[in-house]
Structure 1
């Protein structure tokens, strides 16, 4: 290059001597400032590319996902709040972070009813012997080792609540089936694939009529899903038998019991409907329930927090977010084991490749999300000094699939920074991701809503479905074998790069909110979701 030209690698700027001499000093200063910024930006881009390549290589060639998944899902198992397994999971995560050189701790935010699931065994003993597929619901009272044996009865069809109250005493010493008998155990897609059009439509119409009749009868009975077991318990029932089918082959939703003294169990659709038919045909089926759970009194409820401290702006935060707890029908693999794996692996990669972030990178493994975002709400309430200085929150909590959607959560200028950060992510990861700006604020559903309500820019990494809602969300099938590790690995890379870019961004993210539209049904202006306090004493 000629001596009178200025050159920086990657940026060629020609300024000849004659031009410089005729420029006013102010214009020279402005031009050189622009040049300096351009050179500076290019240098950052070079560092970004190198670090990003190293992150991708680490994720692909030294992944810890399968090992982490085995230890968390197979060895520890489900992580119901208040159980020894939840405590064990917190201690395990802390030990893992310590191995990686990341400080971590369990931070108590409340107390919960302590409970430990023991052996559950359910057998039909009349009119023949058969072991049944089912389980005790969370926090269900124990039967003791001897168990309980009784005849099954189903809910009557009544004209009014008074008639039901007259029937109630008849349940004394009986096991009561309180779920509708499903007309088919085949998912709709199976009918649509194999049945004739007339046959499929007839099944759906018949089922709709049956469901409407069931709902109407429940209205006349005067109780709902939660209060009915309590009424039956008070009337002397020996136990409650349910079947909450999830509309998929072999899948049942598994939640919690509302009884205080008698057991509540959930049976597979196949076994439940068989027993229901036996009752209808007058065979007087009997089953034996052994459910050896243990009450553990009041136990601490906590979040597990790990931190990579910032080197330049340690009082500003990039937060990686995933709830740690689960229901306990399966092992909580995709809700939210996979979200937890993403955040742990991202933190491991960041510590190894980017050990001195500009801003503090904090990961929150929240407790009791399943009972109302309690862990994250407590963190937001207890740590305003952190929440007020959040650069961004990245939350993942809807299954094992690769991320396919992000929206701006109602923050007016989210497009400016999220698209800038996403542009650094490899194209093969961002290609399937649809973005929506400025989006709308989350009002619930997952822990990002806790931060959004407090005005902090929090974004959900929405994943591909993989039949999540019917097959793994809160079901007995939510287990290790449903994890798609290629997708989880992609999400860990995405999260690590987003955290890196958010940490390095010279600008603080804008918190300016959109003006929410009017609710057309009410004519009232919609408002930003309000911050809510957690339940700090649960199940007690």
Structure 2
């Protein structure tokens, strides 16, 4: 008993001395000082989100962002380039204006979906009609002619526009449960309505289009006040617009009651043909082991409902700021520190998958990949991604991180490998030690993930600054580590659904020619 206590006390003393020594590391101290006293995060975020805006793959804004990043790195003395990996359907958003003109005049909140066909500078005015609740696919085909010349509403009417937290704060238990039941029943009924058409979403849009509809009207509510998710149009000839829950609900009720409202839509956009797609790659060359790589990773593209602030301008500026700091404080790393700003993550990790496929010589020599993607929050979770010995080197690299940052992070080892979700998965599938710096939510799923409200004002800069400090220190420690990180994989647990052992994710090929049928 006494011997154990003595050994435990010694370990505390040694551990304390180690922490103290590392906390005085001039590089770590320099990183913290530069990040806190000379932060460039707000300037970077403003230039990227307000100045350039959303970064939908195939748009001029995406190319503008790539060029901006290269110029920014070069201004800091960091070598950078845009590396083409494919091409995508080019499209540029123009004006969207939606008005109700009967039974009264009111401008409606809404926007065309990405890649929506244009109204070619014209305003199209037509009555609204709700997708019919039919018995089966034959009945649906018989109903289809009734959409000719009308705007077809294809989304359910939501029973409430208040988020659940608002209900939980103010509602009685009985009314809360009633609302949830009504919403659940309405969702089930609408899914059944869609299912009885016999068509998937793409085929449904094309059928409505072929039947001569004036356009398609949707409302993809994101379960928060004033927030909708904005994705891509399925139509090829007629415009598809998304309208706010509040205005969509009004139109739905008016249509359902037989008043036959009319709306006018102008949706300008340009088709640009096939456009090249890029990754922006920058690096600080290693001095002792230049053929080994520490990679900082964040996807550059976004959907274009907002300006892509938390998905993923925050991850992007974290990596930009970390590289800027490292170049200033740690300009001669032992290993090469490379940053990848990936294109077309939103359509299936295409940029990072292309990089993995195109650069086997880099992938086989990766010391670590640190990826940040899921919002503006401070990093709170770090998994070993199934690498058996990840706990050894990740804990070693985390050790000098300031306590107020490190203490927030929950680690899980060895963890299980991510098969998707963000770009670290492209590297994990190839057997490279890649890790997600997973963030605190800040209501990310409801309010900013792929929504019309993902804008600069949602960024929490104190948290992003913490993430830049964390990333820079991890990159420094991984570069300096005398040992090469282990890529030994753990024995994966049993899949509870199949009863069979889980398998390591397979590498997947990128889509190199996208947005075309």
TM-score above 0.5, yes or no: yes
1:189 Cα deviation from its structure 2 partner: 1.2
> 1:393-432 to 2 correspondence within 5 Å?
393-432=369-408
> 1:71-220 to 2 correspondence within 5 Å?
71-220=47-196
1:501 Cα deviation from its structure 2 partner: 0.1
> 1:23-422 to 2 correspondence within 5 Å?
49-422=25-398
User: 1:473 — aligned with what?
Assistant: 449
Q: Distance in 2 between matches of 1:522 and 1:266?
A: 39
Match of 2:465 among 478, 484, 489: 489
The gaps in structure 2 that reach 5 residues or longer are: 1-13
Determine if contact 2:22/2:400 at 8 Å carries over to the other structure: no
1:156 Cα deviation from its structure 2 partner: 1.1
1:235 Cα deviation from its structure 2 partner: 1.0
1:346 Cα deviation from its structure 2 partner: 0.1
Determine if contact 2:345/2:423 at 8 Å carries over to the other structure: yes
SS of residue matched to 2:224? coil
1:227 Cα deviation from its structure 2 partner: 2.3
Q: Distance in 2 between matches of 1:356 and 1:48?
A: 19
SS of residue matched to 1:452? helix
The gaps in structure 1 that reach 5 residues or longer are: 1-37
Q: Distance in 2 between matches of 1:75 and 1:511?
A: 41
1:216 Cα deviation from its structure 2 partner: 1.6
1:211 Cα deviation from its structure 2 partner: 1.4
SS of residue matched to 1:293? strand
1:45 Cα deviation from its structure 2 partner: 5.2
1:46 Cα deviation from its structure 2 partner: 6.3
Larger Rg: 1
Q: Distance in 2 between matches of 1:203 and 1:55?
A: 51
1:519 Cα deviation from its structure 2 partner: 2.1
Q: 1:221 to 1:431 in 2, by over 3 A?
A: same
SS of residue matched to 2:223? coil
Q: Distance in 2 between matches of 1:284 and 1:364?
A: 52
Could you tell me the TM-score, scaled by structure 2's length? 0.95
Matched residue pairs, number?
A: 501
Q: Distance in 2 between matches of 1:159 and 1:365?
A: 49
Q: Distance in 2 between matches of 1:204 and 1:113?
A: 41
SS of residue matched to 2:74? helix
Q: 1:304 to 1:48 in 2, by over 3 A?
A: farther
SS of residue matched to 2:196? helix
Q: Distance in 1 between matches of 2:301 and 2:277?
A: 10
1:224 Cα deviation from its structure 2 partner: 2.8
SS of residue matched to 2:94? coil
SS of residue matched to 1:292? strand
Q: Distance in 1 between matches of 2:70 and 2:43?
A: 16
Determine if contact 2:23/2:400 at 8 Å carries over to the other structure: no
- After the TM superposition, which parts of structure 1 deviate over 6 Å for at least 4 consecutive aligned residues? none
Determine if contact 2:161/2:246 at 8 Å carries over to the other structure: yes
Q: Distance in 2 between matches of 1:190 and 1:520?
A: 35
1:523 Cα deviation from its structure 2 partner: 2.7
